Amino acid sequence: MSSVESFIEDLASSTNADFASVKEFPLMPEGEAVDMGHAEDGTPLLDPRILDSPEFFRNPYPYYRILRDHHPVFHDKLHNCYWVTRYDDITECYFDDEGFNTIPKGSSSGVLGNTQLELSGVEHRRRRNLYGQHLVGQSLQARIPAIEKLANEMIDAWDAAAKDDSALCSDNGDTRQLELSSMFANEFPIRVVCEVLGFPKEAQSQFYYWYNSMMSGLGGSATHKQGVEARQDLEDYVAGIVEERRQNPTYLLDQDGNPTSKDIITKLCETKVDGDFLSTEEITSNIALIVGAGGETTRGAIMNMWTLLLRHPDQFDAVIGDGENWDKAFHETLRHSSSIGGQPRHNTFDVEMHGVKVPAGSLMQMVDFSANHDERIFKEPETFDIFRDDLYYGKLLRSGYRKEGRCSHMAFGVGPHLCPGAWISHQEAVVGSKILLSRMRKPRINESKMPKDIDGKSPAPMGIISIRELWLEYDLS
């Protein structure tokens, strides 16, 4: 055992394990790792305390590279888990739902309820099928005019905000300054999801509040109570409409106002399992999951995509020149800087991977971020390039995609738990961005308001946290 490993093991097994994770690491130039020592054979070592450090959050990729190259299955005794970092290994585990299952998901259950994330096999498929059809294909196509309308309504509101000289949106002569997350990206995905679920428009703002509270409730004990309360409020609200929808189903309408299919709430209300209707708790959990899973993720995708494109003007010009390139920009953004880092799995049986024995029931962290930057799959992975020839840009498949040197990114996972919202979030980000572009003349980043890197001049790296604030400026005339 290496000296760092035994040191960490001693610390982790001491009664003061929290103390063990507190260590200050220097902030390094982007792409360079702190030297954490070497084993006798020259193998670079990784001190797991780096994983909790500000340095790692802003500059994660050199550390993931150490893991991929030297410790592809890393037994982290400090956090009591195994980190799996190579694309091929992660894909294999995701496909094997029985050998690497999702139970339990930790604190999410308390806030979101009993969701399909915790299920496997037949029961998991049944739950997914209940609503999955509404988020794809023709049902989704039929929603696009509504998505466009929502985007336009949100942008229409900017004029009033600018008149009030809001801190987040103001005019200065011929230019407008605005902060994109507050003025658009935070709320847009939640509004879209509410619409598809079939909630009345008046409820959308309330949903945004429930969503925020539930999400912060997942973040830790201080906000957990607020998250559970928000979920209870959501459940009370849903209970009120369940009976009504069972009697009077409501429909999604196409752009001409013709009913296309029953909305998701109505479907869930009418569903019987073994002769019994789904309980209100089951319906609420499904709804909480869809609202919860579709918000921050799509918000992050929109924010990261705009930031990356505006910082690569030639690629931004390419999407201006040809709207089809938005699809490429969306997928390359999710490969380069996804809004979700990875997923936990628990192995059902003892396994051995890359010489590391993992006892049954261990927590194995599948690092999608690292898979997306695995140079065994993607050339120069740290480069943002919407025209790369090794990324698959086509329709995402649950079976994943790997053909003629092109692989899908891992941001939506693969296998049985592949994100069912992948298609709708794609449409939200692309349709919403096309409308944003049509309503802003010569948009650019107001870098003076953006956080800076350690040199005090260049923009702070995106790291593993999606861009929180994006200050834009555009010409009004």
Provide, rounded to whole angstroms, the least separation between the CB of residue 428 and ligand HEM.
7
CB-nearer residue toward ligand HEM: 56 or 412: 412
Q: Distances in Å between the alpha carbon of 42 and those of 1, 2, 37?
A: 14, 11, 9
The residue type at 366: M
Alpha-carbon span 375 to 56, nearest angstrom:
19
CB-nearer residue toward ligand HEM: 20 or 193: 193
Provide, rounded to whole angstroms, the least separation between the CB of residue 340 and ligand HEM.
5
The residues that touch ligand HEM, with contacts defined as CB under 6 A, are 102, 116-117, 128, 135, 193, 289-290, 293-294, 297-298, 301, 338-340, 343, 411-413, 417, 419-421, 424-425
CB-nearer residue toward ligand HEM: 186 or 298: 298
Provide, rounded to whole angstroms, the least separation between the CB of residue 116 and ligand HEM.
5
- With CA atoms as reference, report the closest residue to 21 among 83, 76, 71: 76
| Dihedral sign of CA atoms 421, 427, 428, 430 in order | positive
Cis peptide before 104 (omega within 30 of 0): yes
CB-nearer residue toward ligand HEM: 11 or 135: 135
CB-nearer residue toward ligand HEM: 117 or 154: 117
- With CA atoms as reference, report the closest residue to 87 among 298, 329, 401: 401
Task: Report helix angle 280-310 to 188-197, nearest 10.
Answer: 140
- The Cβ-side half-sphere exposure at 243, using a 13 Å CA radius, reads 4
CB-nearer residue toward ligand HEM: 72 or 300: 300
Provide, rounded to whole angstroms, the least separation between the CB of residue 203 and ligand HEM.
16
Q: Distances in Å between the alpha carbon of 187 and those of 76, 177, 327, 374, 451?
A: 37, 19, 22, 33, 23
Contacts of 456 by beta carbon, 8 Å cutoff, 6+ apart? none
Provide, rounded to whole angstroms, the least separation between the CB of residue 291 and ligand HEM.
8
CB-nearer residue toward ligand HEM: 346 or 444: 346
User: How many CB atoms lie under 10 A from the CB of residue 430?
Assistant: 22
CB-nearer residue toward ligand HEM: 396 or 440: 396
Provide, rounded to whole angstroms, the least separation between the CB of residue 95 and ligand HEM.
11
Provide, rounded to whole angstroms, the least separation between the CB of residue 166 and ligand HEM.
28
DSSP result, 338-398: -S---EEEEESS-EEETTEEE-TT-EEEE-HHHHTT-TTTSSSTTS--TT-SSB--S---T
CB-nearer residue toward ligand HEM: 62 or 400: 400
Provide, rounded to whole angstroms, the least separation between the CB of residue 115 and ligand HEM.
7
Provide, rounded to whole angstroms, the least separation between the CB of residue 424 and ligand HEM.
5
Provide, rounded to whole angstroms, the least separation between the CB of residue 415 and ligand HEM.
7
Q: Which two tokens stand for residue 372?
A: 């997306």
Phi/psi for 401 (5° steps) reads -150, 130
CB 284 within 8 A of CB 231: yes
CB 470 within 8 A of CB 301: no
CB-nearer residue toward ligand HEM: 74 or 188: 188
Name the residue whose CB lies closest to ligand HEM.
421
The residue type at 120: S
